[in-house]
């Protein structure tokens, strides 16, 4: 089976513009950035989606995400940061990655995450709220 592209980046078999690396994580520039400076943060362990993480690794990922996002913001002097992560659907590389994307005021995302939808009414919104609330309760 063809090996994962991001595992090859970790092993230095594919070149990437690496901006940070330690024993658990690596961050590098996305090869097709939404905006320049668009960075990907990935675990060095081959973990496919958020659902496959251990809690400890995920906690470290949250801390690392904040640090790298701060680095991108300070490093290029952008106004803000968009964090996104595709799991399964729209996930083109099956190795978990957080997109850390620089944002500038007045520079909109084009055709990305829009158009938004609306709930038909408050009853429908309540139904969605309850389904998710119950599922979370069961996870405790
Ligand atoms: P997603 O669609 O959420 O799975 O995002 C995958 C991202 O990975 C996409 O923005 C492009 C980036 N990408 C894919 N292959 C490579 C690569 O070989 N090098 C780098 N630097 N980025 C890659």
Domain count, the chain: 1
Q: Exposed, middle or buried: residue 3 (CB in 10 Å: 0-12, 13-18, 19+)?
A: exposed
Per-residue pLDDT for 140 more than 90?
no
Q: What would the pLDDT profile of 32-68 be if each residue is shown by its tens digit? A: 899 999 999 999 999 999 999 999 999 999 999 999 9
Q: Which of 93, 96, 99 to mutate to test the pocket of ligand 1 (most atoms within 8 A of CB)?
A: 93
Say what the pTM is: 0.91
Question: Which CATH number belongs to the domain containing residue 131 in this structure?
Answer: 3.30.428.10
Residue-number span of the structural domain to which 59 is assigned: 5-138
According to the model, what pLDDT value does residue 137 have?
87
Burial of 91: CB neighbours in 10 Å, binned 0-12, 13-18, 19+: middle
* Ligand 1, atom 16: closest residue by C-alpha: 31
Kindly give the number of the ligand 1 atom that is closest to the alpha carbon of 90: 2
pLDDT of residue 116: 74
d(CA 41, CA 64): 8
């Amino acid at each position: 089976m063809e090996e994962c592209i991001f595992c090859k980046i970790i092993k230095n078999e594919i070149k990437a513009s690496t901006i940070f690396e330690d024993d658990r994580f690596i961050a590098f520039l996305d090869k097709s950035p939404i905006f320049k400076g668009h960075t990907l943060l990935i675990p060095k362990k081959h973990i496919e989606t958020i659902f496959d993480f251990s809690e400890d690794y995920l906690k470290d990922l949250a801390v690392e995400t904040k640090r790298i996002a701060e680095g991108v913001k300070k490093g290029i002097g952008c106004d803000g940061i968009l964090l996104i992560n595709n799991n399964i659907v729209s996930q083109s590389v099956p190795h978990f990655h957080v997109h850390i994307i620089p944002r500038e005021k007045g520079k909109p995302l084009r055709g990305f995450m829009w158009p938004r939808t609306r709930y038909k009414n408050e009853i429908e919104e309540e139904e969605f709220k309850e389904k998710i609330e119950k599922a979370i309760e069961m996870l405790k």
